[in-house]
Amino acid sequence: MSLAGRLEDLALADIFQILSIGKKTGTFLVKGTKGTALIVFKNGLIVRAETDDLDGTLADFMLKAGMIRETVFQMAVEVKKKLPTQSLADLLLDLGAISREVLEQATRKRIEHVIYRLLLWEDGDFQFELDDLEIGDKTELQDLGWELSKGLSPEYLLMEGARVQDESAESSFDPTQAFTVEDHGQKEETDAGTGWDDNWGETPAAERKDITALKSLTQELRFPNSTSEITLLVLRLASDIFQRGVLFMAGKNQIIGLGQFGIEVDRADEKIRGIVLSLEMSSFLKKIVTEQMPHKGPLEKDDITLYFMDEIGGPWPAEAAFFPIVAEGKVAAVLYCDNAISRDPIGETEGLEIFISHAGLALEKSLLQRRIHEMEKGRG
């Protein structure tokens, strides 16, 4: 399979979902007015990403972060002049200037930055070559960085990249800035005061994460590029409120795993897409889908919910939440969320419920546009 086209016609989110769901292996190249980029996929996961739209190479980033010494960096640069096909990261590892573990951490951060930057591109011609990992002279990029031993989920990168874009609109975030790899899981607390808390009772704005995030995401939902973008927006907002979640696509008598956040099992995305929950065998789940109403409270134990919890791992949640996404009068998807790891109680979800209602309307609009397009195509 060779996939080629323009970013103007096929959004990056759609391309990533095609390659991720299909567990594709190969090289993805894109060239636009902002530069050139390379992404390497293995079994649907991203193991390498580079672009000349960022200042410097992976090695430059590590130097700025104080992870390597200037003298060793310059030595690697001189060696590369004689071995141009070798990346500076490879040479630094060979020189003993950095450990493999730290290099992997730095590469994960570099890949995140590359994807974040690509999300800003408005144009570009792309091509994906299936099962072709020989980069050779396919790209003008001078340094190809490092290949991860364990790839990153495209869905996660898209979700985090879109979140960074939202944050950058309110701050001076620079995706080219130097980074550290110490504990980037911790986030600084920021002032969430927006004035919205005056309109939503006496609960402080800092506690209403759903309402704060709702402001920025609702605007994006008005003009989605695809149905996959709608589902990613839902997962993004939910991940601000809950520790983990799974989005299911609804069928006639079953719901099928589509995407996730916070699920800590090996190959989480692949495992989630393999989960099929029968509604006929779970009166608890069937009631949620039939009534088309959110459920927040205990997760009833039956054969299906026991199987589901076993698949996603972790302790049995004290509370769980299900949010049906309704389009054209039918449940099109179901969002499951919990805080099972910390055992924290479920907080306010009014903002998320409002957003999910808007997501259903956006899905209806997207389906209608698709039907109109198919009708016009048939007439042509």
Q: Average pLDDT of 351-358?
A: 86
Say which CATH number the domain at 222 has: 3.30.450.40
Phi, psi (deg, nearest 5) at residue 153:
-70, 125
Helix (H, G, I), strand (E, B) or coil at 107: helix
* 93 occurs within a structural domain: yes
Q: How many domains does the chain have?
A: 2
Residues 147 and 243 in one domain: no
Residues 273 and 312 in one domain: yes
Residue 205: which pLDDT band, with cuts at 50, 70 and 90?
A: very low
The pTM (predicted TM-score) of the whole model is 0.57
Range of the structural domain that residue 326 is part of = 196-372
Q: Residue type for 373, please?
A: H
* 378 occurs within a structural domain: no
The answer to whether residue 4 scores a pLDDT higher than 80 is yes
Least confident stretch, 31-35, 164-168, 204-208: 204-208
* 176 occurs within a structural domain: no
Domain boundary among 119, 150, 168: 168
The answer to whether residue 287 scores a pLDDT higher than 80 is yes
DSSP class per residue in 174-239? -TTS----S-TT---------SGGGGSTTS-GGG-HHHHHHHHHHHHHHS-SSHHHHHHHHHHHHH
Residues 18 and 88 in one domain: yes
Least confident stretch, 76-80, 166-170, 235-239: 166-170
Give the per-residue pLDDT at 285.
Answer: 97
Residues 216 and 138 in one domain: no
Residue 202: which pLDDT band, with cuts at 50, 70 and 90?
A: very low
* 179 occurs within a structural domain: no
Residues 148 and 231 in one domain: no
Residues 218 and 346 in one domain: yes
Can you read off the two tokens belonging to residue 331? 């449940």
Residues 204 and 340 in one domain: yes
Residues 23 and 136 in one domain: yes
Q: Average pLDDT of 186-211?
A: 39
C-alpha–C-alpha distance, residues 212 and 289, integer Å: 28
Residues 139 and 277 in one domain: no
- Provide, rounded to the nearest whole percent, the portion of the chain with pLDDT above 90: 41
Give the per-residue pLDDT at 227.
Answer: 72
C-alpha–C-alpha distance, residues 343 and 315, integer Å: 9
Nearest CA to 322 out of 358, 286, 360 is that of: 286
Residues 151 and 285 in one domain: no
Least confident stretch, 148-162, 294-308, 341-355, 361-375: 361-375
Q: What size, in residues, is the chain? A: 380
- C-beta atoms surrounding 7 within 10 Å: 17
- C-beta atoms surrounding 195 within 10 Å: 7
* 136 occurs within a structural domain: yes
* 174 occurs within a structural domain: no
Residue 166: which pLDDT band, with cuts at 50, 70 and 90?
A: low
